[in-house]
Structure 1
Amino acid sequence: MPTISKKGQLMPQSPIRKLVPYAEEAIKKGKTIYYLNIGQPDIKTPKIALDAVKIHSLDILAYTRSEGSEDYRKKIANYYRKNDIQVNHDDIIVTTGGSEALLFAFGSIMDMDDEIIIPEPFYANYNGFSTASGVNIVPVISKIEDNFALPPIEEFEKLITPKTKAILICNPGNPTGYLYSKEEIQKLAAIVKKHDLFLIADEVYREFAYDGNTHYSIMQEKGLEDYAIMIDSVSKRYSMCGARIGCLVSKNKQVIQTVLKFAQARLSPPTLAQIASEAALDTPQSYFDDVIEEYVERRNILIDELSKIEGVKVAKPKGAFYCIAELPVKNSDDFAQWLLEHFDVNKETVMVAPAGGFYSTPGVGLNQIRIAYVLNKNSLIKSVNIIKEALKVYKD
C-alpha cells in the first residue's frame, strides 16, 4: 500500500475546526450550539461589495494577472496611504486569502529546516504553514499573567541561530487580542536589522484597535524597507471571510519578485472576489466606527462575565476579536469535546477552540481556550453561563 508523506503525517489538525464532527452530532440530537471557536464575524458584509458582484458586466470569467488586477492593487495602495503606509501598487501581490500570502512568504525567504521565531500563543495555522514549508517554528512564550505582552528582546536574541530567517508577529493578535505598541515594533525592528532577519507582520485585524489605542504597522517604521513583509486580508475587515482575498506587501523588490513566481505558479487570485474586494475599499468610515463600538461592547461583556467564574483567568484584548481564557481543567481538548457530546443547558451548548493548538511548545496552553466574540451580546452572555455551569460538573 502506498504511504503518506512524513510531512502529511506531521501536519497538525486545526484546533478551530477539528471538533466539527462532534458539533454535527450535537445538532442531530437537537442541541443549539453557540460557535465561539471560529473568527467568522456575524457583522454584515458591506452592501457595496456584494452589489459589485451582482451587477458586474463580465462576459467571460477570465484569469486576472498573477499579482492581482492593477486597478485593485492601486486602490489597495491608496487605502494604505490613507493609513500612513507609503507603498505603491507594485509593492503588493494579491493572494488567495492571507493564508496564501503567508505560504508565499515562507516559501520565498526560507529553505528546508530554516527557523522562524514566533511569540506564542499564535494563530494555529502558523503551525500548518511551517509544516507545509518544511520550516521549524522557534517559539518565544508570552504569558497570560502579562496580558500576552511582547517578551523581552533578550528572549528573542537567545533563540537566534544561523538558521533563523525571520520573526513573525500577528498585530493585533490572534488568539490573544494583544496590540503591539509602536515602541515594541521599534524593538523588533532593531533586532531584525541587527541580525539581518525578515520581520513578517500579519496585520489582518488592523482596524480593530480599542480603548483609544492605534495600530502601528511595520510598514510605517523607517529603515525597515528591506526587512518588512506585511500580510493582509479582507476577511475580517469587511466580514468577507469567504472571498479568500488577501495580499502580501513589501518594499523589498527581491521579495516581491520571488513571491510573484509563486503567484504565477498558481495562476491568479479569484476574479469575482477581487471585484468585491475592490468595491469594499469604498466602504465608509461609519461602517468601521459602528463595528468597533460593537466589538468593544462584546469584549467588555465577555471579559466581565468570564471574570465572575471561580478559577477562570482571562486576558483583556486590546484589539481583534479573540481572547484566551484559562480554565480550572487539565485538558481543554477533552473539555471542549465533552461540552458538545455530554453537556447542555436547556438543549444549548458551546463550541470553543482548545488553546493547546495555538502553541508549538508541547504541554503549554492545555488548560486554556480561545474564544471568538463574534456573536451578539445576548448569545455571549448565554455562552459564558453554559461554560460556568459546565465547570461545576465537569471532571477531568
Structure 2
Amino acid sequence: MPTISAKGLSMPESPIRKLVPYSEKAKKAGTKVFHLNIGQPDIKTPEVALNAVRNFDFEILEYSHSAGFESYRTKLATYYRTHGLPVEVADILITTGGSEALLFAMGVTMDAGDEIIIPEPFYANYNGFSTASGVKVVPIISGIETGFALPPIADFEKRITSKTKAILICNPGNPTGYLYSKEELLQLAEIVKKYDLFLIADEVYREFIYDDQPHLSVLNIAGIEQNAIMIDSVSKRYSMCGARIGCIVSKNKEVMQTAMKYAQARLSPPTFAQIASEAALDTPQSYFDDVVAEYKERRDTLVEELSKIAGVQVAKPRGAFYCIAKLPVADADHFAQWLLESYSYNGATVMVAPAAGFYSTPNVGKDEVRIAYVLKKADLIQAVEILKNALEAYPGK
C-alpha cells in the first residue's frame, strides 16, 4: 500500500476547526451552539463590495495578472499611503488570502531546515505553513501574566542560530489581541538588522485597535526596509473572509521578484474576489468607526463577564477580536469537546478553541482557550453564562 509523506503526517490539525463534527452533531440534536471558536465576523460586508460583484458585466471570467489586477494594486497602494505607509504599486503582490502570502513569504526567505522564531501563542496555521514549507518553528513563550507582551529581546538572541532566517509576529495578535508597542517593534528592528534577518509582520487586524495606543507597521520603521515583509488581507477588515484575498508587501525588490515566481506558479488570485476587494477600498471611514466601536464594546463586555467567573484569568486584548482565557480545567481540549458532546444549559452550549494548538511548545496552554468576540453583546453575555455554569458542572477540573 502506498504511504503518506512524513510531512503530510506531521501537518497539525486546526484547533479552530477540529471540533466541528461535535458541533454539527450537537446542532442536529437540537442544541444551540454559540460559536466563540472562529474569527468569522458577523459584521455586514460593505455594500459597495457586494454590488461590484453583482453588477460586474463580463462574457469571459479571465485570469488576472499573477500579481493581481494593476488597478487593484494601484488603489491599494493609495490606501496604504493614506494610512501613512510608504507603499508603491511595485511593493504589492496580491495573494489568495493572507495564508498564501505567508506561504510565499516563507518560500522566498527560507529553505528546508531553516528556522523561524515566533512569539507564542500564535495563529495556529503558522505551524501548518511552516510544516508545508519544511521550516522549523522556534517558539518563544509569552505569558498571560504580562498580557502576552513581547518576550525579552535577550530570549530572541539566545535562539538565533546559523539556520535562523526570520522572525514572525502578528500585530495586533491572533489569538491574544496583544498590540506591540513602538519600543517593542524597535527592539525587533535592531535584532533583525544585527543578525541580518527578515521581520515578517502579519498585520491583517491593523484596523481593529481599541485604546489610545496607535498601530505601528513594520513598513514604518526606518532602517529595515530590506528586512521587513508585511502580510495583509481583506478578510477581517471588510468582513470578507470568503473572498480569500490578501497580499504580501515589501520594499525589498528581490523579495518581490522571487515572490512573483511563486505567484506565477499558481497562475493568479481569484478574479471575482479581486473585483470585490478593489471596490471595498471605497468603503467610508464611518464603516470602520462603527465596527471598531462595536468590537470595543464586545471586548469590554467579554472581559468583564469572564472576570466574574471564579478561577478564570483573562488578558485584556488591545486589538483584533480574540482573547486568551485560562480556565480551571486540566485539559481544555477535553473540556471543549465535553461542552459539545455532553453539556447544555437552557438548550445551548458554547464552542471554544483549545489554546494548546496555538503553541508550538508541547504541553503548553493546555488549560487555556481562545475566545473570538464576534457575537453580539447579548449573545456574548449568554455564552459566558453558559461557560460559567459548565465550569461548575465539569468533572475534569
- TM interval, short-chain normalised: over 0.9
Is 1:319 the equivalent of 2:315?
no
Cα distance between partner residues in 2 of 1:58 and 1:140:
50
Q: Aligned AA for 1:153? A: I
1:101 matched residue in structure 2:
101
Is 1:163 the equivalent of 2:163?
yes
- Structure 1 residue 331 displacement after superposition: 0.5
1:136 matched residue in structure 2:
136
Q: Tell me the SS of whatever aligns to 2:185.
A: helix
Post-superposition Cα deviations, 1:304-362, rounded to whole Å, max 9, x if no partner, equal 00000000000000000000000000110000000000000111000000000000000
Q: Tell me the SS of whatever aligns to 2:325.
A: strand
Gaps in structure 2 of 5+ consecutive residues: none
- TM-score, with normalisation over the residues of structure 1? 1.00
1:111 matched residue in structure 2:
111
Cα distance between partner residues in 2 of 1:15 and 1:383:
20
Q: Aligned AA for 1:241? A: C
- TM-score, with normalisation over the residues of structure 2? 0.99
Q: Aligned AA for 1:375? A: L
Is 1:355 the equivalent of 2:355?
yes
Q: Tell me the SS of whatever aligns to 2:222.
A: coil
1:300 matched residue in structure 2:
300
1:229 matched residue in structure 2:
229
2:39 matched residue in structure 1:
39
- What does residue range 238-253 of structure 1 map to in structure 2 within 5 Å? 238-253=238-253
Cα distance between partner residues in 2 of 1:87 and 1:28:
49
Post-superposition Cα deviations, 1:227-256, rounded to whole Å, max 9, x if no partner, equal 000000000000000000000000000000
Tell me whether 210-219 or 114-123 shows the greater mean CA deviation: 210-219
Post-superposition Cα deviations, 1:241-299, rounded to whole Å, max 9, x if no partner, equal 00000000000000000000000000000001000000000100000000000000000
2:29 matched residue in structure 1:
29
Post-superposition Cα deviations, 1:194-221, rounded to whole Å, max 9, x if no partner, equal 0000000000000001112211000001
Cα distance between partner residues in 2 of 1:119 and 1:51:
40
Is 1:188 the equivalent of 2:185?
no
Q: Indicate the percent of aligned positions where both proteins have the same amino acid.
A: 70
- Structure 1 runs of 4+ off > 6 angstroms? none
Question: What is the number of residues matched between the two proteins?
Answer: 396
Q: Tell me the SS of whatever aligns to 2:236.
A: coil
Cα distance between partner residues in 2 of 1:206 and 1:336:
30
Cα distance between partner residues in 1 of 2:181 and 2:58:
45
Q: Tell me the SS of whatever aligns to 2:65.
A: coil
Q: Aligned AA for 1:162? A: S
Post-superposition Cα deviations, 1:76-100, rounded to whole Å, max 9, x if no partner, equal 1000001110111111000000000
Post-superposition Cα deviations, 1:126-157, rounded to whole Å, max 9, x if no partner, equal 00000000000000110000000001110100
Post-superposition Cα deviations, 1:64-115, rounded to whole Å, max 9, x if no partner, equal 0000010000011000001110111111000000000000010111001100
Cα distance between partner residues in 2 of 1:220 and 1:8:
38
1:50 matched residue in structure 2:
50
- Structure 1 residue 33 displacement after superposition: 0.4
Cα distance between partner residues in 2 of 1:102 and 1:176:
19
Q: Tell me the SS of whatever aligns to 1:179.
A: coil
Q: Tell me the SS of whatever aligns to 1:117.
A: strand
Cα distance between partner residues in 2 of 1:273 and 1:38:
21
- What does residue range 85-100 of structure 1 map to in structure 2 within 5 Å? 85-100=85-100
Cα distance between partner residues in 2 of 1:214 and 1:61:
41
Cα distance between partner residues in 2 of 1:211 and 1:136:
35
2:270 matched residue in structure 1:
270
Cα distance between partner residues in 1 of 2:338 and 2:185:
40
Gaps in structure 1 of 5+ consecutive residues: none
Q: Tell me the SS of whatever aligns to 1:229.
A: strand
Cα distance between partner residues in 2 of 1:346 and 1:223:
57
Cα distance between partner residues in 2 of 1:327 and 1:294:
26
